[in-house]
Amino acid sequence: MDILFIFTNIIVLLAIIGILITMQRKHVSFTKRVFTGLGMGIVLGAILQWVYGSGSEVLATTADWYSIVGRGYVNFLMMIVIPLVLVSIIQSIINLDKSAELGKMSAWIIGILITTTMVAALVGIASATIFDLNAEQIEAGQAEQDRGSSLEATLDDVVETQSTPQKILNFIPSNIFLDMTGQRSTSVIAVVIFSVIVGIAVLGLRRKNPEQAEMFTKMVNAVYAVVMRIVTLILRLTPYGILALMANTVATTDFAGIIELGKFVMASYAALLTMFVIHLVLVGVFGLNPMTFLRKVTPVLGFAFTSRSSAGTIPLNISAQKNSLGVDQGIANISASFGATMGQNGCAGIYPAMLAVMIAPTVGIDPLDPLFILQLVIIIGISSFGIAGVGGGATFAALIVLSSLNMPVALAGLLISIEAFIDMGRTALNVNGAMVSGTLTSRILGKLNVKTYDDKTAIDDSQSV
């Protein structure tokens, strides 16, 4: 009987995929198809949980089958991340007139990412204070206690490997082939650094041996064209991937845990939404229409929300910045890559700040003490370098910040039941921060194509795959 139910659930998913395919054949816009997939995924997930219950074996098996579409799509994106970062950054640099432009780009992008993360920390502090959050308010079940004990047991390893000099050293690739496998949390930045070195070397070679430089440039341009074609093919799967991801997320979400920790959930999303508004205000301050920005980045944020992977969103991030927002190609490549591993407003900014404020009273610290706030914000800014852009990065960031303040870290384990639900919003904010950094940097350096930015149809054209 269970097999029949599972088979029926799979048929339902395939039927919805068929609807999305029909919409594509009728030339329905990419954005509408993405949101159709998102909406149908929510409805499908809710029905599955209502019919079977979140802990049922039928639902667990169904989720495994749905993961072929959902996580399979994420895996395809992760597959292309490193080749895309490597080739696109090399190609961007060798097309620069001067290598000094690279320094300006990187400085502005990193500056905006880290500054907004520190602002996000202040927002997290304010939200935790307004909602009167306290670590003692959270009751721990057996699973939460086990998770807290596990985090405390691994804390020493985290602290030992995360001194500031060591974190800086970890950015430097010692084996580029290892980093191309994405095995380290800093692999993306390591590949970026390697790509920058290659690009600068080509600029130097162009002055001494222009024929060889030209040959290499042609090769890079050819490989770049192939990689971008692969990205285009993968992006065609976005509506289907979001459908399956959202169905699984809603179907397996512990809504009882969310209700139980509702105060923390509300405070978290209040902080996330506030930071989204600050992003839009920044866009407006630089003379751009915030609503245009929001409309054009929403499809990318939808995927970030469902996948919980900043790194996996890099291909969509680059495509939207370049084709929808009119951001310079080199700036789009660098901001998307950097934004996946540093200055993450949600995971490295808001979340650790909220936990620190919640824990502070339990260890005799006034969370509103200006010196404590200053120390917390500075530590968050520094520790935001090298946080992995995948699920679990926020917990890692929290461990670093709390240990730096000599605070207990078990609270991060007590929130296990709602971790995935809140992480969805945090990831969307991380990606939005990366896109804001690219847009503002392009605007500041006079490289933004304002005509493309203002073109309302560009949101569809960029994704007409």
Residue 213 token pair: 């430089």
Q: What is the pLDDT of residue 98?
A: 62
pLDDT digits (tens, 9 = 90+) for 249-279: 888 876 666 666 778 889 999 999 999 999 9
Give one DSSP letter per residue of 2-13, joined into a string. HHHHHHHHHHHH
**CA separation for the pair 285, 265 (Å, rounded):** 30
Q: Kindly report the average pLDDT of the chain as a whole number.
A: 83
455: CB partners within 8 A, 6+ apart: 461
Q: Kindly report, residue by residue over 89-142, the tens digit of the pLDDT.
A: 888 788 776 666 778 888 999 999 999 999 999 999 999 999 988 876 565 544
Inter-CA distances, 107 with 20, 23, 87, 266, 343, Å: 42, 43, 21, 35, 13
Lowest mean pLDDT among 143-147, 197-201, 403-407, 444-448: 143-147
**Under a CB-based contact definition with an 8 Å cutoff, are residues 267 and 127 in contact?**
yes
CATH, residue 105: 1.10.3860.10
Position 188 confidence tier, pLDDT thresholds 50, 70, 90: confident
Q: How far apart are CA 188 and CA 88, in angstroms?
A: 13
Q: What tokens does 166 get?
A: 């060591």
Look at residue 285 and tell me whether its pLDDT is greater than 90.
yes
Q: What is the mean pLDDT of residues 275-292?
A: 95
Quick one: average pLDDT of 76-93?
84
- Name the E strands within 269-340: none
CA 2 to centroid of chain Cα atoms: 37
Task: Write out pLDDT tens, residues 437-461.
Answer: 999 999 999 999 999 999 877 664 4
pLDDT above 90 (res 29): no
* Least confident interval from 139-148, 174-183, 307-316: 139-148
Say what the pLDDT of residue 12 is: 93
Per-residue pLDDT, averaged over 170-180, amounts to 81
Which pLDDT does position 18 carry in this prediction?
94
pLDDT at 463: 45
State the pLDDT at residue 370. Answer: 92
Indicate the DSSP class of residue 348.
I
Q: At a CB cut-off of 8 Å and minimum separation 6, what does 73 contact?
A: 234, 237, 238, 240, 241, 244, 245
DSSP of 443-462:
HHTT---HHHHH-TTHHHHT
Q: How confident is the model at residue 280 (pLDDT cuts 50, 70, 90)?
A: very high
**pLDDT for residue 155 is more than 80:** no
CA distance 427 to 418: 14
Give the residue-averaged pLDDT of 211-225: 89
CA atoms within 13 A on the CB side of 272: 25
> For the segment 294-353, what is each residue's pLDDT rounded down to a tens digit?
999 988 998 888 888 888 888 889 989 998 999 988 899 889 888 887 888 988 899 899
26-35, 46-55, 286-295, 395-404: least confidently modelled range: 395-404
Say how many domains are in the chain.
1
Q: What is the mean pLDDT of residues 175-197?
A: 80
Q: What is the pLDDT of residue 464?
A: 47
Q: What percent of the chain has pLDDT over 70?
A: 84
Q: Which two tokens stand for residue 397?
A: 């960031």
8-state DSSP, 389: S
Could you tell me which residue, 434 or 142, shows the higher pLDDT?
434
Question: From CA 291, how far away is CA 231, in angstroms rounded?
Answer: 27
Flag whether pLDDT at 225 surpasses 80: yes
Higher pLDDT, 150 or 102: 102
Q: Which residue has the higher pLDDT, 169 or 16?
A: 16
> Using one digit for the tens of pLDDT, what is the confidence trace for 345-378?
988 899 899 989 988 888 888 888 999 999 999 9
Please say whether the beta carbons of 458 and 452 come within 8 A.
yes
Q: How confident is the model at residue 1 (pLDDT cuts 50, 70, 90)?
A: low
Residues 311 and 338: their CA atoms lie apart, in Å, by 10
Q: What range does the domain containing 107 cover?
A: 2-461
Is the distance from CB of 427 to CB of 307 less than 8 angstroms? yes
Question: What are 376-406's pLDDT values in tens digits?
Answer: 999 898 877 766 555 556 777 777 787 778 8
Give me the pLDDT at residue 257, please. 62
